[in-house]
Every structure is written in structure tokens, then in C-alpha cells.
Amino acid sequence: MSKVLNRFLKYVQFETTSNEKSQTTPSTENQLEFAKVLGDELKQLGLEDVSVDDNGYVMATLPSNIEKEVPTIGFIAHMDTSPDMSGKDVKPNIVKDYDGKDIVLNKENNIILSVDDFPEIKNYIGETIITTDGTTLLGADDKAGIAEIITAVEYLIENPHIPHGTVKIGFTPDEEIGRGADYFDVEKFGADFAYTVDGGPIGELEYENFNAATANISIQGVNIHPGTAKGKMVNSILIGMELHSMLPVNERPEYTEGYEGFYLLDDFIGTVEKTHMSYIIRDHDMDKFTRKKDVLKEVVKFLNYKYGDIVQLEIEDSYYNMKEKIVPVMEIVEIAKKAMKEVGVEPIISPIRGGTDGARLSYMGLPCPNLFTGGHNFHGKYEYIPVFAMEKAVEVILKIIEY
């Protein structure tokens, strides 16, 4: 078994699900425990300036072994897994010499990774694929990234004749709930630029992401016994439904792709008396992003005019498109493209239909494009990752460090 695979299989045994309802950083204690394990591993490998702070951020340095001045490069991945599905008791399934057919993940529950539903898996015929057992996510997002970064650095330590500049490593908590960069100390990290290793299928290289906001809506109704409700009852659930119906249907996630933005109704809890709704709002284009927020404000304004100031709206921006910060230093994208081509990987430049720590870090002064991990179907039971893709990610990291 390859080193990167062994690491990955070890790391996914740690439950590191983040919790958006928590007010602490990290949001779950298990993330801090995993951070300490990673810190110890980095020390054992011989890295310098290894630190694990109280918020769960891990940083370390591989010193330069050359005399000339070259940029300091960073590599960043996140430790948490998505709260969308359990990351506890992950039981990876190793499928060797994949034959191109459906993969039974869980016979007892008839959970199948279907070629019809996920045809891209046929690209990996003959390869070794790591899947879930159908009851949890896998955790390739982003423990594959962690394994790939550490394996690359270990290779440089074991081969000191390979010249390289200073390399910085950073592992963050709570990326999946949008807090991964909250307490990231860019100055302490000390890199001129960095790459998050947090992308999907092999070849992905991303320097554009959504502008993002969250919208929380509270609707105050009036609950009256239905027998005497005429002219008195105000059903907050129905008003919430009316609000949702007023937003563009074709701007929902299930109808969009590429650069197209959306509104996602993420939560809806209500009674006649009180309803709460939450949306996430996304668009790559800042003008369209602003327009989406304005549309929601206008809908709320109309409903308050219609029903009498019973709808409250709070919108908070989460992160912005890092393209604005990457374009002035596009050479760091070109370095990654060249590295991929030199190890036989065709770069796939595509916008991220989401965000990464790199988006916020780019606005904090650390330009940070995103590299592939090799994984597919993140955040759910159909997640899988080909082993050769992880190995190629290690090669790409090493090539980038060469420049």
C-alpha cells in the first residue's frame, strides 16, 4: 500500500465532524484531538516551528535547503468533515482493479454506487478505488488533502538532495461550516502564497469561487383557534411559502451549473405563530450577487407592506470570489498548471460552486488557489477516491515546490 493511502486510511478513523451550532473554535473537541495527532506526526517527521494552538490550527515549516531567495510556498487543508452526514466509525472499502460495474457499498441496506447515477466512475476502470460502506461519508474532503500534503513533505525530508525553498503547512478546523479562516494567522504562517488542497476529481485547479451570503428570516404570525380565526389568524407558515414562491424558480441549485448562482432554502421551521427560514445565496458575479440579495429584500418589503411588518430579514456576507485577489498574481496558477502537465495530469480550470478556506485567506493577504484531492461525491455516502489520484496530487505538490 502507498504511503498516502496508509495515511488517508488512518486519518478517516478520526471523527472530526464540525458543528455549526457550536460557539467554540474548533466547533467540536474531536477536531482539536486530531490536530494534536497531526502536530505530533509533523514533529516526528522533523519539521520545524510545529504548533497546535487552542483553536485547533496546525502550522509547521520545512526549511529551505538552497541558498538563493525563492518565494515561500504554503499548502493548506482542513481537518473537519461535513455535518451533512456522519463521519463517525468510517469503514473504508478498498475496491481493487475496479471492473467498471456497480459497486455494492452496503448489501444489507441495498446501497449501491451506481454507474448509471455516477458514470464518471468508469474513468477509473482498472484502478484501486476507496469507497464508503454506505453508512457514513468517507472524509476525502479533506483528509485526502492532509495525507497528500504530509506525504509530499515527508518525501522531501527523506530525499534531502532535492532542492526546495521554504515550505509552510497549515491545517484548519471548521472549514465545512465557513469558519476555517476565522483565526488563521497569516503573518505567523509566513507564506508568500499558498494552495488549498481541497478540490475534487484529478486535474481540478480553481481560482474562482462563489460570492456567498446567508439570509435568516423570521415571520411573526398570529395563532387563533381555527373555529374563530376569520379575519384574525395570520399563518406564518403560509407567508413563508409565499415568500419562497416569489423567488426565481430557475435560480435554485437543482437548476444551475457553472457560473450560475442560486438561492438555496436551507432550513424551514414553522408553526402558525412563528416561522424561521434560512437561505444561502451564491453567485460568482458580484453584481448578480448583490442583485440576488436585493431581490430578497424587495420580496420581504412587499410582504411587510401586504401583511404589516411581520417579516424580519438579516443578511450576512460569508466570503467573496477570490478571483479578484488571484488575477494580479496569476503566475501562481500557471505554476500549478505547469506542475500538473509535467506529471501527466491535464489541468481542469473550473469555478468552485462553493467556497474554500482559500477564498477568505486570499482576502486576508494570502493568495490561495485550490488544487484537486482526487475525490468525488463529497459530503455523502457515495463519496469515493481513486488511489492513483491521491498519488498524483502528491506529485503535483512536489512539482510546485520545485519552482
- Compute the distance between CA of residue 131 and CA of residue 338 in angstroms, rounded to an integer: 30
Q: Alpha carbon of 161 to those of 37, 45, 152, 153, 401: distances in Å?
A: 28, 17, 15, 13, 14
Please say if 80 is a catalytic residue.
yes
List, as one string, the DSSP characters of 30-66. HHHHHHHHHHHHHHHHT-EEEEE-TT--EEEEE---S
Instruction: Considering the candidates 15, 148, 154, 175, report the single residue annotated as catalytic.
Output: 175
The 3-state DSSP class for residue 347 equals coil
- Distance in angstroms between the alpha carbons of the first and the last residue of the chain: 29
The 3-state DSSP class for residue 254 equals helix
- Compute the distance between CA of residue 371 and CA of residue 352 in angstroms, rounded to an integer: 11
Q: In this structure, are residues 182 and 345 in contact, taking their beta carbons and an 8 Å threshold?
A: no
The radius of gyration of the chain's CA atoms, rounded to the nearest angstrom, is: 23
The 3-state DSSP class for residue 84 equals coil
Q: Which three cell numbers stand for residue 282?
A: 451564491
Question: At 396, which amino acid appears?
Answer: V
Q: In this structure, are residues 233 and 242 in contact, taking their beta carbons and an 8 Å threshold?
A: no
Instruction: Considering the candidates 15, 41, 80, 251, report the single residue annotated as catalytic.
Output: 80
**Scanning the structure block, which residue is given the C-alpha cell 504562517?**
189
The 3-state DSSP class for residue 240 equals helix
Q: Which three cell numbers stand for residue 397?
A: 505538490
Please say if 309 is a catalytic residue.
no
**Which sequence positions are flagged as catalytic?**
80, 175
